Chain A
């Protein structure tokens, strides 16, 4: 048994390692083919990242990526694909920034109000997709994609002109939020570790919130009754229903929770960086969040690592352009290759684990008493393709 545990452990670690190696290989190949030196490129990326100010940049970039990953993962946990995180966070950020700019309150209340509005808007927008799913059977993938377009091309396009105070301002957006609604930065915390003054960089306060969210997510999903219901519904909705978990209610709650979390993605930008929503508001974090959730296998530490990796790649893209070492787009190719390689590697490892499982079960039943075919098909059926291959392929837990 011990050797099989070791085998399982090494298999789990093999997948990300293989994916990373493969991605490095592909990127090196692409770099060489396009006439850049892969060695120079990688050393440039690493030397950039080892600077203190880049580290702050990476953490600031990783924060929303991580929150986006958690938002997507909540859906994944019960086999819901919330592809609308993108629209949910952009809409939530816009409304929160607008509402926040209309008030001048005592600091913590002001910040809390903005966060509350963002969470509510995100939750409602995603909840709409959940509602359509449970009442009308509309697939959430399609409905959230449509809601993405309606949010950005419709609602924001319709409301943004109303929110603009000064039509002559070149950067058209919501009015600036009063300083009471700015989230304090964490530079004081950084100074514990280093006395170096960071060149104009600030570690955003959302960093702490992201960490707390991660811990909360981990506890709720893995250690609570609700989390159990959630995972059970995801793995086998029929069994969960038989066990007294109302499937429609779970869909609604999971979608709404996912959207509420999505509402927080843009808060780094609203509370710590721009303090307003304008045309140049950061886009694409929702789709990046899907990648983070997939890479991190929906686990809080895994997604943290994935968010840091993606943030590292994102921040190293600009210096590549400045020094002319390589095309900055190489980092996007790296991200996508890592993602594709990782999901394939996870799947392969999963299959090996499954066949291990079958073999082990066969051995075990042989030891108890010979030849009962039903007993053999038991564990196989449990970890069969239907349970295993959803977006949440963590189902190794069931058999572990």
Chain B
């Protein structure tokens, strides 16, 4: 009986499935391959849609720039949720960061702005920690309260501080950025390759050029915080102690971990990150504080956190996915109007959805054939359970299963709709790029919610000594 079930690891490479070979690759190779496939799709789509904006240096540098506030705030969310505190107040802490960052940058220069923004956000985090950790207030309620408090406080303080500094109640005076640098050699090299106009190769070079030319120091700092956060949370003793607060605080307590302290630490660090995100907006994106300029990025950061499965690298990918369409839409103009490149993004989304459908279907097919094999060996098929298969639920389920499950069906339908939309329009309306990230988050959650894993005790109240 056992020899009918083959041990796949002993098979020659050629007969191994794609998924198995994929799993055998080292981490960095998987990332690089995924990025290459992504750029290849972009290149093909761009040549089909009559635009050249998808792989310009502007696209990648813009993506980095617009992703940065979401990335920083998302890392903030990571610290908070890893210690078990849901932080929906990221938006409010970010607003505090923008205000403090603007004042600090005006008074002490850009580095002062960075530090002041960080402190402002951390104070918001402290407030959240006091409410949720100390007093056990529901995390979302406290976060909402902070989101109501922060804009009012910022406006009130602006009225007191900015008019005499050349600003007004709704905005601060202009402040300087941290400055930029260009990687010598690489930038020129990529520019040259980009100029050759070779399919794919020049597109890759174009995107890389954007990543090594005029990098903001703040951006570099933010990018370095990604591995730093991952290292701190997943490779150090402190990180382990912090994570046990989010997974099983009572077990941590029994091991002598000071849960309150680590929760406080996580939430305050979370606020500090959100404050940094705010400072980035002020110092690098707009050059001044303006009321309402965070524009819901705190919420997008939460979405990026969930998208990234509560991991630092995942948050980064999520943030880039949000930044990219926005960067594209900002440059998406030609002589006749706007929206050509954004329309091309619709095709990218359609391809992504179709790819997901095919992938899931094939995965399901492997599982199904394995199941029938096993069933044949045992000599009893689940499908023989006649009474179930004849019931309405059973026949519906078998119908859906034949199509590869509801996910495949849904992804196919969504892909078709997006593809039709792409076919039937010439340019995307101006509201499309503004809406696309949010719609994408919903789509991702629809498909991935069940496979994403939040920290086990995330959002749950904890009181010392209740174990």
Contact = CB atoms under 8 A, between A and B. Distances in A.
A333 B135 contact: no
Interface in A248-306: 287-288, 290-291, 294
B129 to A, nearest CB: 12
Nearest to A336: B149
B138 A136 contact: no
Contacts of B432: 154
Contacts of B441: 142, 146
A53 B142 CA distance: 35
B159 A329 contact: yes
B317 interface: no
Contacts of B303: 142, 145-146
A138 B142 contact: no
Given A287-B147, A343-B145, A333 B442 contact: no
Given A132-B442, A390-B138, A157 B131 contact: no
Contacts of B435: 149-150, 153-154, 157
B152 A347 contact: no
Interface size class of A (residues with CB under 8 A): 35 or more
A142 B443 CA distance: 12
B436 to A, nearest CB: 9
A343 B442 contact: no
Given A137-B450, A327-B156, A391 B431 contact: no
Given A146-B303, A339-B145, A332 B442 contact: no
Contact of B148 (A136, A329, A330, A335): A335
Contact of B131 (A138, A294, A344): A344
B8 interface: no
Given A291-B148, A335-B152, A146 B138 contact: no
Given A149-B435, A290-B144, A329-B159, A340 B149 contact: yes
A217 to B, nearest CB: 20
Interface string B453-467: 000000011010010
With a 10 A CB-CB cut-off, give which of B138, B141, B306, B438 has the most chain A CB atoms: B141
B296 A343 contact: no
Contact of B137 (A288, A336, A344, A385): A344
B141 A294 contact: yes
A50 interface: no
A332 B151 contact: yes
**Residue of B148, B430, B446 most packed against chain A (CB within 10 A):** B148
Contact of A141 (B140, B149, B155): B140
Contacts of B153: 329, 332-333, 336
A348 interface: yes
A121 interface: no
Contacts of B41: none
Contacts of A138: 442, 445-446, 449
A112 B445 CA distance: 37
Specify the main secondary structure of chain A where it touches its partner. helix
Contacts of A146: 303, 438-439, 441-442
Given A30-B156, A157-B431, A340 B442 contact: no
Contacts of A343: 131, 137-138, 141-142, 145
B136 interface: yes
A91 interface: no
B180 interface: no
A143 B148 contact: no
A142 to B, nearest CB: 6
Contacts of A340: 127, 131, 142, 145-146, 149
Nearest to B430: A157
* Interface of B, helix, strand, loop or mixed by DSSP: helix
Interface residues of B, number: 47
B89 to A, nearest CB: 11
A136 B445 contact: yes
Interface string B409-440: 00000000000000000000111101100110
Given A327-B160, A389-B136, A132 B302 contact: no
Given A291-B144, A340-B142, A333 B446 contact: no
B434 A154 contact: yes
B388 to A, nearest CB: 21
A329 B152 contact: yes
B326 interface: no
A178 B243 CA distance: 60
Interface string A289-325: 0110010000000000000000000000000000000
B138 A157 contact: no
Contacts of A132: 442, 445-446
Interface string A368-394: 000000000000000001100111010
B173 to A, nearest CB: 19
B450 A153 contact: no
A142 B445 contact: yes
B439 A154 contact: yes
A343 B134 CA distance: 13
B264 interface: no
Interface in B306-358: 306
Contact of B466 (A330, A336, A385): A385
B423 to A, nearest CB: 18
A136 B450 contact: yes
A150 B144 contact: no
Contacts of A137: 449-450
Contacts of B461: 385, 389
Interface in B69-128: 88, 127
Given A287-B147, A340-B142, A351-B136, A34 B160 contact: yes
Closest 8 CB pairs of A and B: A332-B152, A336-B149, A154-B435, A329-B156, A157-B431, A149-B438, A137-B449, A146-B438
Given A141-B88, A290-B144, 18 more contacts: A83-B88, A136-B450, A138-B449, A147-B442, A149-B296, A149-B435, A150-B435, A157-B434, A288-B148, A291-B144, A332-B151, A332-B152, A333-B149, A336-B149, A337-B149, A343-B137, A347-B136, A385-B461
17 contacts: A136-B445, A138-B442, A143-B442, A145-B303, A146-B441, A157-B434, A158-B429, A287-B148, A327-B160, A329-B153, A332-B155, A335-B152, A336-B149, A339-B145, A340-B146, A390-B138, A393-B138
